[in-house]
């Protein structure tokens, strides 16, 4: 096995200048840092739960407990129901995606300061840090998703054939979350206010999306505008692909796709603009 | 091949802002105001910030080139810009202006054990740290045994790093770093940690790397001994600019002159805090080498002279009983030893209207540091002049024992000649 990094840079000239941005947004450079990405993800996943008593069960326990809270508050106390799928399954399928979305954003705001000691001592494409962040959260999402299957078995909800489209739904979710995460990270470099307003914003997003309630509860007149929220569309698409519930209107689907891709592009451009001098501000 | 240029640095400058983390011009409201015309405004903003003292140049127009295989030392006082330069060359931060070109695989060791995770074991951290430094996992697996052996902590390899002592961390961290094979290696002061034996091991490894003329090394250190033994060429930074670039010996001399400040001559004639009759007054203290040339600092183990010049009242001129004494104290005032002349049975002096008294030391028995001199002169059993803290002398690393080693100051600052016999039996 030859040394990949040395090969890649054997005759490479590294030019260090002010204000130059990495070409191709630095994406080409990422390939040689694959093992770094892997080990940082491993470090975060292994290290995070190691001192706790429940260990990695927290990956599942947390969304389940969260679901129970909503089922008790909204389902039992307020009497919200969902058709045709049982309310706990409705809530859990939404929670799983939403927790991924919200946690990814809130950790994105702190991940640069959290890895300050690395950024301050070593060169690597700074994009590795948000990539590690999203990957760790994706692993959590995968673990938490197993409960969806359990609940489907429990409530005898058969999977729809639409499940084949699930990867597309996830790609959309990833693009939106990663893009917004990059924006949040770039913003947090110079504006430490970010970590203050961000939880409020994600809380607002929770109630602006059909996570704890069905779309049918939203007033008819407002529903057209409501569904321009890409998170709402993605959550509904997720349920469509798993349970065969109705798909949002094509216009809303298109809007969600455009917004998600725009977020990704904006995030990449913004992040690479600030990455070279970010350490001076962290 | 060996004339090939590995590193080119051209007019590198870096501006830092003192007040807060955010330059004023980058705040949201300013951004709105001037988003139309950015460039000229940015320049004006920099000038304004420099004027009011909110910004400063950590580096200014630094240029140099390094040939492949060369070992370049970078020295300078604290705040001279060494770390900033390394950070820019390691691509940790970007310069404000200027440009640097590095040819080949670059590894920079600004710290050992960067990214160690407390909860992970030593073994896991070797992989983590190795990949952070740019090794692939196959490469690490291949070198794992060598790394562990070099570190000497194989027993604790599967213990979480949080239970490691700081020394063990350093050992493991440096062992990983020592097994990377870069074309350009940038090292910052990392060798200053760990015990002496391990330090020697590290220096040996760096020497090994630099021996084959393929590896280009940039080495920053406060240890002139390490710089002197590793680097052929050295750059001296001060106030963000290169003020000397050349042969290591010469540049180290410049550095010492810089940190010693003035030449080693102290005027005493205008000094008011003094006691004694004043019939004889010291006018000057001069530090000289063995040949009588004035020097600004001395090395441990050097032959030096301390020359005290005086003016005497006319009635004192002639042969007189005298006791001259110099007491040497540490920078924090602890007396180390005195050099009274009468102990040598030198009690007669020829006093002239203007003259000098010279005290010679064959082998300066002091560790590197700053020392204070108290000087007194007694003529005919009467104190003529006494100045406490008359002068301060700067001692730098030298080869007192001929072994290129000096004890640490924890044992005390005074050096004496000694020997050990370590081979005898008791019967």
User: Which residues on chain A are in Cβ contact (under 8 Å) with B96?
Assistant: 18
Helices (H), ranges, A84-215: 87-114, 116-119, 128-154, 166-190, 194-207
Does residue A112 sit at the B interface (CB-CB below 8 Å)?
no
Task: Identify the closest residue of chain B to A6 by CA–CA distance.
Answer: B105
> How far apart are the CA of B172 and the nearest CA of chain A, in angstroms?
17
Report chain A residues whose CB lies below 8 A from the CB of B114: 117-118, 121-122
Tens of pLDDT, residue by residue over A215-238, are 988 998 899 999 999 999 999 999
Q: What residues in A contact B101, CB-CB < 8 Å?
A: 13-16
Mutate to test the interface with B, among A16, A33, A117, A124 (most CBs of B within 10 A): A16
Asked if ipTM goes beyond 0.85, one says no
Helix ranges, A209-249 (H): 220-226, 230-243
Residue B293 C-alpha, separation from nearest chain A C-alpha, in angstroms: 45
CB B125 within 8 A of CB B119: no
A279 to chain B: nearest residue by CA?
Answer: B93
pLDDT, mean of residues B67-86: 87
pLDDT band, residue B105 (cuts 50/70/90): confident
Q: Please, which pLDDT band fits residue B152 given cuts at 50, 70 and 90?
A: confident
Q: Exposed, middle or buried: residue B410 (CB in 10 Å: 0-12, 13-18, 19+)?
A: exposed
Q: What is the CA radius of gyration of chain B?
A: 28
* Candidates B111, B114, B119; nearest CB to A47: B119
- The C-alpha of B424 sits at a distance from chain A's nearest C-alpha, in angstroms, of 51
Q: Model confidence over B207-246: pLDDT tens digits?
A: 777 777 778 889 888 777 778 888 889 999 988 899 899 9
Residues of A in contact with B91 (CB under 8 A): 14, 16, 123
The predicted pLDDT at position B345 comes to: 93
Query: In this predicted model, which residue has the larger pLDDT, B82 or A3?
Result: B82
Find the residue in A nearest to B91 (Cα).
Answer: A123
Nearest CA in chain A to B11: A17
CB contact A124 to B (< 8 Å): yes
Domain locations in chain A? Answer: 2-281
| Percent over 70 (pLDDT), chain B | 87
User: Averaged over B130-143, what is the pLDDT?
Assistant: 84
Candidate from B91, B105, B133 with C-beta closest to A16: B91
Q: Are B54 and B11 in contact (CB under 8 A)?
A: no
Beta-bridge mates of residue B102: A14, B7
| Class of residue A236 by CB neighbours under 10 A (exposed 0-12, middle 13-18, buried 19+) | buried
Is pTM, for the whole model, over 0.80? no
Segment B403-425, tens digit of pLDDT: 888 888 888 889 999 999 999 98
The pLDDT tens digits for A177-205 are 999 999 999 998 878 788 889 999 999 99
- The CA distance from A277 to B58, in Å, is 15
Rounded distance between C-alpha atoms, residue B90 and residue B240, angstroms: 17
Q: Which of A10, A47, A190 sits opposite B22 (nearest CB)?
A: A190
pLDDT, position B2: 45
Tokens linked to B226: 């390490």
- Rounded to a whole number, what is the distance in Å from the CA of A12 to chain B's nearest CA? 6
Tokens of B220: 């920053």
Q: Do A18 and B95 count as a contact with CB atoms less than 8 A apart?
A: yes
* Residue B420 CB partners (closer than 8 Å, separation 6+): none
Over its C-alpha atoms, chain A yields an Rg (Å, rounded) of 21
Strands (E), B176-252: 184-188, 216-220, 233-238, 241-247
Q: What's the rounded Cα separation, in Å, for the pair B248 and B232?
A: 6
Closest-CA residue of A relative to B101 is A15
Do the Cβ atoms of A36 and B114 come within 8 Å? no
Is a pLDDT exceeding 50 seen at residue A9?
no
The pLDDT tens digits for B173-182 are 888 887 887 7
The answer to whether B287 touches B298, Cβ cutoff 8 Å, is yes
Phi, psi of A53 (to 5 degrees): -75, -35
* Closest partner CB to B115 (pick from A32, A118, A276): A118
Task: Give mean pLDDT, residues A118-129.
Answer: 84
Q: Select from A5, A16, A51 the Cβ nearest to the Cβ of B89.
A: A16
Using the Cβ of A18 and the Cβ atoms of chain B, whether some distance falls under 8 Å is answered with: yes
Question: How many beta-carbon contacts under 8 Å exist across A and B?
Answer: 132
Tell me which residue in B26, B99, B127 faces A39 most closely, judged by beta carbons. Answer: B127
Contact of A55 with chain B, judged by CB distance below 8 Å, is answered with no
Closest-CA residue in chain B for A10?
B104
Q: State whether residue A220 sits within 8 Å of chain B by CB.
A: no
Query: Distances from the Cα of A81 to the Cαs of A90, A211, A270, in angstroms?
Result: 9, 12, 42
Is the predicted pLDDT of residue A134 greater than 70, yes or no? yes
Query: Is A1 within 8 Å of chain B by CB?
Result: yes
Residue A2: pLDDT band by 50, 70, 90 thresholds? Answer: very low
Q: What percent of chain A has pLDDT over 70?
A: 92
Question: DSSP class of residue B399?
Answer: -
B106, B110, B181: residue with CB nearest A121: B110
**DSSP state at residue B153:** -
Q: How does pLDDT run across B300-355, given as a tens digit for each residue?
A: 999 999 999 999 999 889 999 999 999 998 877 788 999 999 999 999 999 999 99
pLDDT band for B389, please (50, 70, 90 cuts). Answer: confident
* pLDDT tens figures, B240-299: 899 899 998 888 888 887 766 555 678 888 887 888 888 999 999 999 999 988 888 889
Contacts of A66 (CB under 8 A, 6+ apart): A95, A99
Residue of B90, B91, B117 lying closest to A47 (CB–CB): B117
**Residue B138's closest chain A neighbor by CA?**
A1
């Amino acid at each position: 096995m030859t040394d990949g990094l040395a090969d890649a840079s054997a005759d490479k000239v590294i030019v260090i200048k002010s204000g130059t941005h990495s070409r191709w947004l630095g994406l080409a450079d990422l390939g040689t840092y694959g093992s770094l990405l892997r080990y940082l993800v491993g470090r975060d996943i292994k290290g995070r739960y190691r001192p706790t008593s429940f260990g990695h069960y927290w990956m599942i326990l947390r969304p389940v407990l969260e679901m129970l809270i909503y089922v008790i508050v909204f389902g039992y106390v307020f009497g919200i129901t969902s058709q045709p799928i049982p309310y706990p399954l409705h809530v859990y399928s939404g929670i799983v995606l939403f927790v991924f979305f919200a946690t990814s954003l809130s950790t994105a705001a702190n991940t640069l300061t959290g890895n300050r000691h690395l950024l301050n001592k070593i060169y690597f494409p700074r994009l590795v840090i948000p990539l590690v962040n999203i990957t760790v959260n994706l692993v959590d999402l995968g673990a938490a998703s197993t409960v969806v299957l359990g609940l489907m078995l429990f409530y005898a909800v058969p999977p729809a054939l639409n499940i084949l489209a699930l990867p597309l739904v996830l790609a959309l979710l990833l693009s939106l979350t990663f893009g917004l995460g990059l924006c949040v990270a770039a913003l947090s470099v110079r504006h430490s206010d970010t970590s203050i307003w961000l939880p409020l914003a994600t809380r607002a997003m929770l109630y602006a999306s059909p996570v704890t309630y069905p779309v049918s509860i939203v007033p008819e007149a407002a529903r057209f505008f409501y569904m321009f929220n890409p998170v709402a569309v993605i959550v509904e698409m997720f349920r469509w692909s798993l349970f065969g519930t109705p798909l949002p209107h094509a216009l809303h689907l298109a809007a969600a796709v455009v917004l998600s891709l725009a977020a990704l592009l904006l995030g990449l451009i913004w992040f690479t603009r600030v990455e070279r001098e970010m350490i001076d501000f962290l | 091949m060996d004339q090939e240029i590995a590193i080119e640095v051209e007019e590198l400058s870096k501006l830092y802002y003192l007040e807060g983390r955010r330059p004023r011009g980058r705040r949201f409201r300013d951004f709105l105001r001037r988003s139309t015309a950015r460039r000229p405004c940015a320049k004006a903003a920099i000038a304004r910030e420099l004027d009011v003292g909110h910004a400063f140049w950590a580096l200014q127009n630094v240029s140099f080139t390094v040939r492949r295989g060369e070992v370049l030392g970078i020295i300078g006082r604290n705040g001279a810009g060494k770390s900033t330069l390394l950070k820019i060359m390691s691509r940790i931060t970007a310069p404000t202006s200027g440009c640097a070109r590095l040819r080949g695989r670059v590894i920079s060791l600004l710290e050992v054990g960067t990214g160690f995770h407390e909860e992970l074991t030593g073994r896991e951290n070797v992989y983590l740290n190795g990949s952070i430094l740019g090794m692939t996992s196959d490469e690490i697996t291949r070198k794992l045994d060598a790394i562990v052996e070099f570190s000497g902590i194989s027993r604790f390899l599967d213990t979480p790093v949080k239970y490691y002592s700081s020394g063990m961390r350093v050992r493991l961290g440096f062992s990983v770093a020592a097994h990377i094979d870069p074309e350009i290696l940038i090292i910052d002061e990392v060798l200053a940690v760990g015990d002496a034996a391990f330090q020697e091991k590290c220096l040996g490894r760096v020497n090994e790397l630099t021996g084959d003329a393929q590896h280009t090394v940039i080495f920053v250190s406060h240890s002139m001994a390490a710089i002197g033994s590793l680097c052929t060429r050295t750059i001296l930074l001060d106030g963000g600019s290169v003020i000397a670039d050349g042969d290591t010996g010469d540049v180290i001399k410049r550095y010492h002159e810089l940190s010693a400040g003035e030449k080693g001559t102290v005027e005493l004639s205008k000094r008011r805090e003094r006691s004694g009759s004043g019939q004889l007054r010291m006018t000057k203290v001069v530090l000289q080498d063995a040949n009588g040339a004035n020097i600004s600092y001395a090395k441990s183990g050097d032959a030096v002279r301390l020359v005290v010049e005086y003016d005497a009242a006319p009635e004192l001129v002639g042969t007189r009983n005298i006791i001259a004494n110099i007491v040497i104290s540490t920078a924090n005032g602890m007396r180390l030893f005195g050099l009274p002349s009468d102990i040598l049975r030198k009690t007669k002096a020829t006093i002239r209207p203007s003259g000098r008294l010279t005290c010679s030391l064959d082998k300066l028995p002091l560790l590197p540091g700053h020392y204070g001199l108290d000087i007194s002169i007694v003529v005919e059993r009467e104190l003529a002049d006494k100045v406490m803290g008359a002068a301060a002398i700067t001692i730098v690393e030298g080869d007192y024992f001929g072994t290129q080693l000096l004890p640490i100051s924890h044992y005390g600052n005074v050096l004496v000649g000694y020997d050990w016999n370590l081979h005898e039996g008791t019967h």
